[in-house]
């Protein structure tokens, strides 16, 4: 096959998508000379990119007509894989690490919890492959929130990201299953958030000295019990989405801390789907997407 790479020194080749298909089905049709093991290896070693921006990590990602799949070589350090069921590295360079964090894993260690955190696992990974001894936290996801998360590999890059977060980050999209049916298909929630002594956040429409927070939401699908939401953040406050949805009477399902009932999905139904930002060093616009958990789609009748 003419465009099949024969060594890790090959840079890239691309495939055009002409009809909607799951990723692995598409690759099997377009690359008949590749075994199933080889195709899975491309995914495992983070060599598949959507439209030059999004690193693909799910075998059943649904492709659309007009999409382009770039297949890149595994040359260099991207060939190493962090072997942990709750954390996958989906992008790595000299400045940053981008990961897929599963629900149930803390982002960073707290006084009450042990070392099984995303930051600890990444520090161990860094030492194991001679990349240094430390990674630096840029932002956090709640323990029971899944999805895309970024870390810095140097203190300098951490400071660049933190000091310029609002300028560098172009999009942060979350997906949630909220309880009940929304009267409006789109809306914005804005309020002041404060934290009590029990570490629980509270929302107030009046300026009470708390942190101002803004959340935009759109209803993607709904049934009589649940609504699937796409949410974009203007601000990144602690528990922002959870307390905002509680404040309008539609808590996240599974979020018993903020008024939600126990979820049939057996988890907090909140997922960080997309993170799009200007790279802190190269200034190139990059985007990473972790597809919506199937359990969310089942709850709202989409699967």
| Active site residues per annotation | 142
Contacts for 43-46: CB closer than 8 Å, 24+ residues apart: 44/81, 45/74, 45/78, 45/79, 45/81, 46/74, 46/78, 46/81, 46/89, 46/90, 46/91
CA distance to 46, 58, 137, 280, per residue, from 84 (Å):
15, 16, 19, 27
Query: What are the residues facing 96 on neighbouring strands?
Result: 152
145: burial class by Cβ within 10 Å (0-12, 13-18, 19+)?
A: buried
Distance CA 198, CA 200 (A): 5
């Amino acid at each position: 096959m003419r465009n099949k790479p024969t060594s890790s020194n090959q840079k890239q080749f691309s495939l055009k998508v002409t009809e909607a298909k799951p990723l692995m089905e598409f690759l099997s049709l377009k690359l008949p000379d590749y075994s199933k093991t080889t195709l899975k290896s491309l995914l495992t070693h983070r060599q598949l990119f959507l439209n030059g921006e999004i690193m693909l990590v799910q075998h059943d990602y649904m492709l659309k007509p007009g999409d382009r799949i770039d297949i890149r070589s595994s040359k260099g350090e991207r060939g190493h894989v962090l072997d942990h069921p709750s954390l996958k590295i989906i992008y790595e360079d000299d400045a940053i690490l981008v990961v897929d964090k599963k629900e149930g894993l803390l982002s960073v260690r707290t006084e009450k919890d042990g070392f099984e955190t995303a930051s600890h696992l990444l520090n161990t990974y860094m030492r194991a492959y001679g990349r240094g001894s430390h990674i630096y936290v840029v932002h956090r996801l709640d323990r029971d929130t899944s999805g895309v998360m970024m870390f810095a590999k140097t203190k300098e890059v951490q400071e660049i990201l933190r000091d310029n977060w609002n300028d560098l980050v172009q999009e942060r999209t979350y997906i949630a299953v909220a309880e009940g049916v929304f009267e409006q298909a789109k809306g914005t929630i804005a309020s002041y958030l404060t934290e009590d002594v029990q570490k629980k956040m509270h929302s107030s429409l009046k300026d009470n000295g708390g942190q101002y927070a803004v959340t935009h939401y759109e209803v993607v699908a709904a049934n009589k019990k649940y609504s699937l939401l796409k949410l974009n953040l203007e601000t990144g406050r602690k528990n922002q989405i959870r307390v905002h949805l509680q404040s309008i009477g539609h808590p996240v399902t599974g979020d018993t801390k903020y008024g939600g009932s126990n979820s049939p999905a057996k988890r907090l139904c909140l997922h960080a789907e997309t993170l799009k930002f200007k790279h802190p060093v190269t200034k190139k616009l990059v985007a990473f997407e972790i597809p919506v958990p199937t359990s969310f789609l089942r709850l709202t009748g989409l699967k």
